[in-house]
Each structure stands twice: as structure tokens, then as C-alpha cells.
Amino acid sequence: MMQYEITKEKSAEYLRQAIHHMSQQDAAFHPVSYAVWYEYSSGEHARLIDEVNDLIEKEKKLNEKSTAHLFHKHIAATDPDSAKVLVERFNQVVTDITTSTKQAGQETSQFKKSLDAWSGEIQQLEPQLGAQLGSLLSDTLQMQSAMHGLQHKLESSLEEISDLKSEIMKAKQEAISDGLTGLMNRKGFDSALHQCLDTLPDQETCLVIADIDFFKKVNDSYGHLFGDKVIQAVARVLKTVSGNLYTAARYGGEEFVLLLPHTSMETAREIAENIRRQVAAITIKNNVSQRLISNITISLGLTVYQPGESVDSFITRADQALYTSKAKGRNRVTMIEDALAAA
Ligand SMILES: Nc1nc2c(ncn2[C@@H]2O[C@H](COP(=O)(O)OP(=O)(O)OP(=O)(O)O)[C@@H](O)[C@H]2O)c(=O)[nH]1
């Protein structure tokens, strides 16, 4: 994980170095090249540094393509959060420059207007001074056009930043989603769980862990693709039941979790029972035999968070409850209230 808890001076030093490196390349000034060279300058990212050095040795300069490749491989894909921070930082740099350029542009334009107004009158009174003013006017026009050019370039940089921001948000979302079901994946759930327990330690919070019964047999009997359809069907039940109130996720292969903040054990048990019943009612067409397959069941374990306990012990207790459901014959919900009951 890249670190950004560094002093302002250090950060400014990296920024200076990054801008120096960027100016030596073929790639333009934009957030992608900024992110790559900032990381390079910070010296934190050994693999990125090695690859940049190899490329420079071979190609002399980094172009748009190699810069984008380095960004996606070493920054956006491995650490979308840090990529976001880098892009935002570049955004700030560009916004600051844009604001001062705009201001300078306005001042130049004001100056040109005054010159325009005076030069006509002075031309008549003092022809020589009028000529000097004419040349000053032409310099001002040149400066104004340079300002417009720079402003235009900076504005397109800002557009690029906004595109990149959405790309990073998308990558961030993909990093915590499960591709097969569209539910949150384990990584996303673990962070949601930590966040929930950090903010609601004194509220009643329940956790359900569910696992499809005899799933190996489902795969063996009807094939892996059919197994995938079963996983998707169970995920749909969880999605519907959880709505916007609860957080559902695919925790592993055929295992699911449901986090229920502000929920009593009794309500959570009713919800878990509802999920169990809805899964038992699922029928899926087997595309090979064209027959409808039912008898899909899940076992569920449920527990309530004990204030002060660790996340691991919370999950372990829900897992123990699930194990009990499996041991007692499957297709059932088991509740374990606290550590004593689990023992
Ligand atoms: N189709 C499909 N199968 C998967 C996926 N992930 C894991 N599995 C299979 O899920 C099965 C899990 O089997 P087991 O852990 O033995 O458990 P089980 O057969 O469900 O038995 P119990 O949990 O004891 O009821 C394995 O055969 C895995 O190959 C997946 O994404 N798709």
C-alpha cells in the first residue's frame, strides 16, 4: 500500500521532481504521467521504479502508451485509493494554475482595453509615443493569445482528470464486487464490516453466514455452469432480502454473508428463515436435460455482535452456528448468542 502520510516539504519535493521528470518525456502533462512520476520520485514503489528505469534505458523517453501502461499496472489496478489521491492532488495543482492564469488573462485583457482607449487619442497628440504604444499593444495581443492557449490546455487537462476520476471509481467498485453475482465480494464485505463495527459498537448488529448444501453434488450432477446458476439464484434472494438496509456479499465459492446493523437477534432470525425458505423454493432449468431442478437448500448460522469483541471472534461464532446447522442436517438456521453459548 502506498503511503501518503508525509510532510508538506517532502511532498513538495516529490512534486518538483515529478514535474522535472514529466518535462523530459514525450507524454504530456496530465494526471496519469503525474501519478507515475510522483510515485517514481517518492522512491516507495520498487517495481514501478525498476520498470521505468528499464523503459528509459531502452526507449530514452516515456510516451503516452508506456506511461498509461505503468499507471494502470502499478497504481490504478493495485491501489485505486492511492490512484484517487494522486489524481486529486494533480487536479489541485492544475486548478490552482488555471485560476491564476485566468486572473492573469483577465488583467491582460483589461490592460489591452486601456491601451486601445488611449492609443487612438495619443496617436493624434504625440505620433511617436503613439507608435510605441502600438508596439506595446501588439505585444499585449501576443501575450493574450498565449494566455488563451494555456488556459485552453489547462481546461482540457481538467476534463481528462474528470474522466480519469470516473475510471478510478469504476476500478474501485470492481475491486469490491463479485463478478458472478454482482454482490459485494469478501474484500468489500470485510471493509464494510470493520466500518460498521467501528461506527456502531453499541448498537445491536447481527451477522448471518450461509452456505449452499451439498454443492459439490450439485456441480457433480448437473455441471459447473448449472452450479454457477444456483449461486446466482441464491445471490438474487440475498439481494432482494437485504435491499438498502443490510449488506450482503459472496464470501467465498458457495458461501454468503449478510450483515444486519440495528437489528435484533429475533428480527435477524426471521430474515434468515425467510432467506432459507426462498432458497428452498428456487427452481432452475437444467439446459442439458431441460428439466426443472429444485431441492436447492442452504444452511445458515446467525449471531449478534458482543460489544468490545474482535471482528474475528464475531465471524467465528457465526461460522460455528453455520457448522451446527450443517451437523444437524442442513437446510436450517442456527443462532448462537454469545461466546458462552458457543462453547
Ligand atoms: N459451480 C461452481 N462451483 C463452485 C464455485 N466455487 C466453489 N465451488 C464448488 O463448491 C463445492 C463446495 O463443496 P464442499 O465445500 O465440499 O461442500 P458441499 O458439497 O457444499 O457440502 P456441505 O457444505 O457440507 O453441505 C466444491 O465442489 C467447489 O468446487 C463456483 O464459483 N462455481
The 3-state DSSP class for residue 248 equals strand
The 3-state DSSP class for residue 183 equals coil
Angle between helices 224-242 and 215-222 (to 10 degrees): 130
Contact 247, 259 (CB under 8 A): yes
Task: List the one residue out of 100, 69, 95 whose CA is nearest residue 162.
Answer: 95
Ligand 1 centroid distance, CA of 265 (Å)? 28
Nearest CA to ligand 1 atom 30: 253
Ligand 1 centroid distance, CA of 296 (Å)? 13
Contact 301, 208 (CB under 8 A): yes
Cβ(37) to ligand 1 under 6 A?
Answer: no
Cβ(70) to ligand 1 under 6 A?
Answer: no
Q: What is the pLDDT of residue 131?
A: 67
Closest ligand 1 atom to the C-alpha of 218? 19
Q: In testing the pocket of ligand 1, which one of 216, 295, 298 has its CB within 8 Å of the most ligand atoms?
A: 216
Ligand 1 centroid distance, CA of 216 (Å)? 5
Ligand 1 centroid distance, CA of 298 (Å)? 12
CB atoms within 10 A of CB 83: 27
For 179, residues 6+ apart whose C-beta sits below 8 A from its C-beta are: none
CATH of domain 186-342: 3.30.70.270
Interatomic CA distance for residues 87 and 159, integer angstroms? 12
Task: List the one residue out of 226, 207, 224 whose CA is nearest residue 295.
Answer: 226
Q: Where are the domains of the chain?
A: 1-175, 186-342
Which is it for strands 255-260 and 284-285: parallel, antiparallel or unpaired? unpaired
Using alpha carbons only, give the angle 189, 237, 270 rounded to the nearest 5 degrees.
85
* pLDDT digit string (tens) for the chain, length 343 residues: 444 456 767 777 787 788 778 777 887 777 788 888 888 998 888 899 999 999 999 989 899 899 988 988 888 777 777 777 777 777 776 677 667 666 666 766 766 676 676 666 656 666 666 666 676 667 767 666 766 776 676 777 677 777 777 777 787 788 899 999 999 999 999 999 999 998 866 679 999 999 999 999 999 999 999 999 999 999 999 999 999 999 999 999 999 999 999 999 999 999 999 999 999 999 999 988 999 999 999 999 999 999 889 999 999 999 999 999 999 999 999 999 876 666 6
Task: List the one residue out of 132, 76, 143 whose CA is nearest residue 109.
Answer: 143
